[in-house]
Amino acid sequence: MEMECIFSKDLLKRIASAQAKKGISLRDHSKDVGTLAEAFVDRIFVSEDVLKFLERILGLSESMIKDCIVGACFLHDIGKLDKGFQKRLCDEGGYSTPHALLSLSPAEELLDQYLRRLYPKIEDQALRLLLDLSILSIATHHSDYHSGLYERYKFDSSTDNFLNANKSYKLLQTSYDNLSINLSDRYRRYLYVLFNGILRTCDWAVSGGLGLGGMVLDESYFLKSQIYDYFSRKGWNLRDYQELVRGQSIEAALLRLPTGDGKTETSLLPEVSGTNKLVYTLPTVTTVESMRKRFEEYFGKDNVCFSHHLMRLTLYDEERPEDITTFRYGMRKIIVTTIDRILLALMNFRHFPILELALNNSYLVVDEIHSYSPFTLSLILDALEYLRKYHRTRILVMSATLPSLIEEELTERIGARPLLPDELAKERYAAKKRVQVKLMPKGEVLSSQLYRILELFKEGKKVLVVLNTVSQARGIYEELKSQGLKYRKDIYLTHGRFCYQDKIHKSKFLEGLKDRQEVRDRPFILVSTQVVEVSLDIDFDVLFTEISPLDSLIQRFGRVNRKGRKGIAEAHICDVEDPNKPLPYRAEQIHITRDLLEDFKQSSELDFLKITDEYYNQVASIYLKEFGKSPLEQFRGQISKSEFGEELMKTRDGFITVPAVPVGRDLEIYNEIKEILDRWQSLDKVGRQKGFISIMRRIVEVPVSLIKDCYFEDRELRERFGLPFINVDYSRELGILEKRGGAIIF
């Protein structure tokens, strides 16, 4: 599309002489954004359900929708012609109404003329719908929509009727009302995501110097070829089942393979031509950090971005702050992220249209599906169903222990089919027996096994010890260490109640256990909580664990004898201190697990799949109750941003967690941060950024009950950053050291 199709000659001259940014003409920026949008819309899938409705009711076609989106992208910044905006760009001061608001009235007029020329027979009602979507999209290409958006500018006077804030404000309100009347809630939100998501993506891509080729998988064989190259460099060959998957077309599929069998690489081999991105999701920040490093090695750093709630800190640590916006909005070919980011995008979290658009016509891999609670799993199932129907997202769900209950839900909701023949997958499990389960007598708790753990360590073994709460893990760690073991050399503690910077250090240390020869060949004890269950690639010789739900236990087994080169390793399962209150789990889950293990006969890892199915059959009511709720439905009728989704994610497992900063021993941490806050007003932008990052590195996610019990008053920290101090000690070796009784969960 040429700009002359939309802009008059007079307007072209005006935008050529105006600036979009310092040194960049408004004409060049508008042309670049519109041209990129023209190429990008061809990669976007528009829901068949929505198209059929619009065609039947209004006579609208897919080409009309896409042409309107492109036109809106050419016109999105026309409000920058405002004299006040141009003066501010030239550092001449002056007042400026937001350019996104000022763009609305002229954009409507020019889009109306353009679409009538392009489609002379278009119905007025159809044209009005497209204009309303465009107006709402342009108004929010920098600010998320909310009820008071631009209200402070609604009485702004202007001598330039072309750029009239009052007229544009009224137009925005009318457009919102029209869309609320003329479209169903779900269709309104969906079309807004397409219009606004494409505009924001293209606008930010052009501003960041990104072309279409840097954001989408322009070659169907890219993923496979990079994996082949990586295997070749390592001197590896594809396994037989990977050969079977290679080139297999995928729409919605399931992949079940034992731990250590190369699920990740297998997931990258199917045929996914025409998709825009690979979006690979994992449960935790630590697993995302580990996986993105693998992906950077597979695909090159320039093709990979990652996202999680601590991403900003990671990029500052790596001296890459310039990548924050690009990574936050998934503007690379390959995205590695937590499942939370996907769910929040569908819950209208900040800038949700661009985040949701990244999933349109893309390939989504959901790894470690077994690791989520019933509530979170319900959210995930709801999300996958929506993405398949409205965004044609290709989906692969993976797990080492995928129970029939979840498989049936995935089959019914998204038409998922096994990527590998069921018999072949079972053969992989039947061929393995890496762990022998040893169930301790009732009442025998893990602390009674410390002598045996120490004996095995002295025999040269690597021992993994897993407790269900942080307090118990720390207690066992300190008891073992008191027997003369040295921190980091002989024994180590990890759990979820360390601050960000220490989590990163611990992750690097644990990675080093498998990478350094002198560490691999010596005995070691790792004491942990449930955080060890997901994607920790260290090969322990023996496991001692508290009993937990069966699927959780099997993940703990997967951390032992991973390569199967140690004969048969032992996994000792001990009782919990109080079986009637087995925090953080339900007593029902523990009782069912113990009953099943009492009669468990194990000949191979195929038996783990069978007993997992038995377990899920007995707890099915818990899951089915959550599956019937459609938890994302409440967000599908809104286009306003919502913070509620973030709160929902924090409380999804029944335990509310919030970010807080411990004061530290003798107020050490508090005094360091207080010094930053005392100097805040005198700091320049760079100084404040550094101060902010320094504070963020100290954050620990803690149960809200700890805030209530140990709140430490500092109004400035709370008001400036929304963070409370908590009156507890903190140790880089031990993490949070609560001053009152009670377990810290996870």
Least confident of 54-63, 466-475, 564-573: 564-573
| DSSP conformation class of 464 | E
Percent of the chain with pLDDT over 70: 94
CA distances from 146 to 100, 351, 395, 527, 643 (A): 15, 12, 32, 47, 12
415 with 461, same domain: the answer is no
Least confident of 236-245, 544-553, 718-727: 718-727
189 with 313, same domain: the answer is no
In a domain, 649, yes or no: no
Q: Given a cut of 70, is residue 608 above it in pLDDT?
A: yes
In a domain, 470, yes or no: yes
Residue 611's pLDDT band (cuts 50, 70, 90):
very high
Mean pLDDT of 580-588: 88
546 with 665, same domain: the answer is no
* Alpha carbons 695 and 699: distance in angstroms, whole number: 7
The domain boundary residue, chosen from 209, 226, 241? 209
The domain boundary residue, chosen from 388, 405, 430? 430
662 with 706, same domain: the answer is yes
Residue 158's pLDDT band (cuts 50, 70, 90):
low
Q: Going by C-beta distance under 8 Å and a sequence separation of 6 or more, which residues neighbour residue 399?
A: 255, 256, 368, 369, 370, 406
| DSSP conformation class of 487 | B
In a domain, 440, yes or no: yes
In a domain, 629, yes or no: no
* Alpha carbons 606 and 603: distance in angstroms, whole number: 8
Least confident of 102-111, 112-121, 147-156, 378-387: 147-156
Mean pLDDT of 647-665: 72
Strands, E assignment, 327-472: 334-338, 363-366, 394-399, 417-418, 435-439, 462-466
411 with 445, same domain: the answer is no
235 with 351, same domain: the answer is yes
569 with 486, same domain: the answer is yes
Residue at 421: amino acid letter: P
* Alpha carbons 345 and 361: distance in angstroms, whole number: 16
* Alpha carbons 596 and 594: distance in angstroms, whole number: 5
221 with 204, same domain: the answer is no
Mean pLDDT of 177-181: 92
Q: pTM, whole model, 2 decimals? A: 0.91
Q: Please, are residues 118 and 75 in contact by the beta-carbon 8 Å criterion?
A: no
Q: Please, are residues 277 and 333 in contact by the beta-carbon 8 Å criterion?
A: yes
The per-residue b/e assignment along 607-640, b for 16 or more CB within 10 angstroms, e otherwise, is bbbebbbbbbebbeebbeebbeeebbeebbebbe
The domain boundary residue, chosen from 378, 413, 430? 430
pLDDT of residue 160: 67
Least confident of 483-487, 615-619, 721-725: 721-725
DSSP annotation string for 135-158: HHHHHTSSS---TTTTGGGTT---
In a domain, 624, yes or no: no
Reading the block at residue 392, the tokens are: 């044609």
pLDDT of residue 741: 47
In a domain, 309, yes or no: yes
267 with 296, same domain: the answer is yes
Residues 160/166/167/168 CA torsion (nearest 10 deg): 100
Pairing of strands 304-307, 334-338: parallel
Residues 20-38: tens digit of each pLDDT:
988 899 999 999 999 999 9
- Among 529, 585, 68, which Cα is nearest to 60's? 68
CA distances from 727 to 331, 417, 664 (A): 41, 52, 8
Mean pLDDT of the residues in the chain: 89
* Alpha carbons 648 and 246: distance in angstroms, whole number: 39
Least confident of 323-337, 402-416, 561-575: 561-575
CATH number of the domain that residue 320 is part of: 3.40.50.300
Map 548-581 to HEC letters.
Answer: CCHHHHHHHHCCECCCCCCCCEEEEEEECCCCCC
Helix residue ranges, H only, 59-123 = 62-75, 83-89, 99-102, 104-118
CA distances from 131 to 42, 47, 195 (A): 20, 20, 11
Residues 88-109: tens digit of each pLDDT:
888 766 667 899 999 999 999 9
Q: Please, are residues 492 and 734 in contact by the beta-carbon 8 Å criterion?
A: no
The per-residue b/e assignment along 36-45, b for 16 or more CB within 10 angstroms, e otherwise, is bbbebbebbb
* Alpha carbons 564 and 168: distance in angstroms, whole number: 68
Q: Given a cut of 70, is residue 646 above it in pLDDT?
A: no
368 with 220, same domain: the answer is yes
Mean pLDDT of 73-91: 89
Q: Please, are residues 520 and 514 in contact by the beta-carbon 8 Å criterion?
A: yes
| Total number of domains constituting the chain | 4
pLDDT of residue 337: 94
pLDDT of residue 157: 66
Compute the C-alpha angle 148/151/153, nearest 5°.
155
CATH number of the domain that residue 204 is part of: 1.10.3210
Residue at 571: amino acid letter: A
Q: Please, are residues 361 and 393 in contact by the beta-carbon 8 Å criterion?
A: yes
Reading the block at residue 292, the tokens are: 């993105």
229 with 200, same domain: the answer is no
Residue 148: how many other CB atoms lie within 10 Å: 6
pLDDT of residue 94: 65
257 with 404, same domain: the answer is yes
* Alpha carbons 402 and 383: distance in angstroms, whole number: 18
Percent of the chain with pLDDT over 90: 51
Reading the block at residue 136, the tokens are: 């709402």
In a domain, 721, yes or no: yes
* Chain centre to alpha carbon of residue 351: 14
Mean pLDDT of 156-163: 70
Residue 655's pLDDT band (cuts 50, 70, 90):
low
CA distances from 745 to 136, 400, 508, 591, 708 (A): 44, 25, 24, 20, 15
* Alpha carbons 308 and 311: distance in angstroms, whole number: 5
In a domain, 610, yes or no: no
Q: What's the first-to-final CA gap in the chain, in angstroms?
A: 56
pLDDT of residue 703: 78
Cis peptide before 374 (omega within 30 of 0): no
Domain ranges, residue 423 = 215-430
